[in-house]
Amino acid sequence: MVQGNAQRRFRPLVQRFANLYRRPSHGGGALAVYLDGEPVVDVWTGFADAHGRVPWERDTASMSFSTTKGVVSTVIHRLVDRGLLAYDEPLATHWPAFDVEGKREVTLRHLLSHQAGLHRIRGVIASAEDLLDHEHVAEVVADQMPHHPLGGGTAYHGLTFGWLVAGLVKRVTGRGLREVVATELAEPLGLDGCWIGAPHDQWHRVAELFPPMPRALALDRIGGRVERTRSTRYLAEALLIDGFERLVFHDPERRILSTEMPAANGVFTARSLAKIYAALANGGCVDGVEVLSPETLHEAGRVQNRNRDAVLGLPMRWRLGYHQAFTLGGRPAWKAFGHYGYGGSGAWADPETGLSLAFVTNRLGSVTTPMGDVRLPRLSSAALGVVRRRR
């Protein structure tokens, strides 16, 4: 049974959402939508564990992988608004690791649009266990030299993005990114679940992720083969780390929630994500809080590169920290942007319609990619269909 509230006209969207969770083995999830800065859908259903025993509740949150990048990018844009950062300023201005030959020209714009050439994590970090020391990882990642794809395209900084952003934030604010997300977004907007990792006293709210990838496709087994294949070498370099699957799915201590992995281990409720993006869909403001100035919002949402991404193999139309919001069913939204994540979660804003949508879930799709699966694009198309029919 779906719980929560939704305006009647969004009934087709809620029904599509409900159909994702017909059995306990399907897990659970939550869906939230804002229109013109007002909440119009806030629903949840299913189970927060792999055995169908723990119901998904109103305050259940889920680790949402790369969806995290959109949230931390919004924090970066707030620091730009404050004058602490500038898009075309070299990172070397703040971070000595970049003040060397070959990296002095790397700017914040390059980093946010995945053009910094610092996508590599495989071979830079020996194993997933090393990721738990996030401050050390930030330094190691920043010390590598750029490696750009041929043709001047982008290479998705699938994991390194978060530590590079966190390191930069630490140098301009003196605070860790977990704290800055709280003070810049969660507290001003009154969000009920928006963390990098999660406070230990909130772990009981965090849904159990399942199932792990089929063993035949496990990263620990395919990493070497992918790395040796020319067409997928960038994918391996950016995303495959020995032991990552064990750390995420098979660690009884849930240490993944303790560290700061700001490209991947954000923990969110759908309504928190939808509210952040509601501001981005409506001139930078929601509930009387200015999240971004109109000028900064315009620059953040402007397409930076239209080439095929070397890691993902798709033209992502990268903005500054966001990508094109993908849809299915013949309803493209070319001005909509946000960030989707491995496992299916994601959120986006569409300035053209004033719509924002967020979806979180604990069940990985049967066919998933670094940018999720078909569930969120289908939900997105359904929501856009409702709004466009009424306008």
User: Along the 391 residues of the chain, how does pLDDT read in single tens digits?
Assistant: 899 999 999 999 999 999 999 999 999 999 999 999 999 999 999 999 999 999 999 999 999 999 999 999 999 999 999 999 999 999 999 999 999 999 999 999 999 999 999 999 999 999 999 999 999 999 999 999 999 987 778 999 999 999 999 999 999 999 999 999 999 999 999 999 999 999 999 999 999 998 755 543 444 454 555 555 666 899 999 999 999 988 998 899 999 999 999 999 999 999 999 999 999 999 999 999 999 999 999 999 999 999 999 999 999 999 999 999 999 987 889 999 999 999 999 999 999 999 999 999 999 877 778 899 999 999 999 999 999 987 6
Residues annotated as catalytic are: 66
CA 272/CA 61 separation, integer angstroms: 10
Handedness of CA 360, 362, 366, 367 (dihedral sign): positive
Q: Which residue has the tokens 């990268």?
A: 318
CA atoms within 13 A on the CB side of 249: 19
Q: What is the chain's percent helix, strand, coil content, to nearest 5?
A: 40, 20, 40
Instruction: Give me the helix-helix angle, 134-143 and 160-173, nearest 10°.
Output: 100
For residue 3, CA distances in Å to 46, 106, 139, 311 come to 10, 47, 45, 38
Domain at 3-389, CATH homologous superfamily: DD-peptidase/beta-lactamase superfamily (3.40.710.10)
Type of residue numbered 172:
V
- The pTM of this model reads 0.95
3-state secondary structure of 71: helix
Q: Which of 185, 166, 167 is nearest to 75 (CA)?
A: 185
